[in-house]
Amino acid sequence: MLSLDCVPLTTYYQMTGETADAVNKRIQRGLWIEGVHVLKIEGVKERWIDLVEVAKWARTNKKTYPGE
């Protein structure tokens, strides 16, 4: 099994079904931070997503439901 910690944005969209609009709104609202969740790699046009940091963010921002 191949395990990746970072993927290009287009791959992230395909993997998750998320939209560019949703990702951009998270960045604009400061929920995702450039250099932490979203990476700009020198010499590469496309930004990358750090899946480890996004998973941490999701776990700290998850909703809790009654009975959990």
Lowest-pLDDT choice from 6-20, 35-49, 54-68 = 54-68
> Where do runs of H (alpha helix) occur along 1-68?
9-16, 20-28, 51-60
Dihedral angle of Cα 67, 58, 6, 39, to the nearest 10 degrees? 180
Q: Report pTM.
A: 0.81
User: Average pLDDT over the chain, rounded to whole?
Assistant: 89
Residue 36 has pLDDT above 70, yes or no: yes
The tokens 């999701």 sit on which residue? Answer: 58
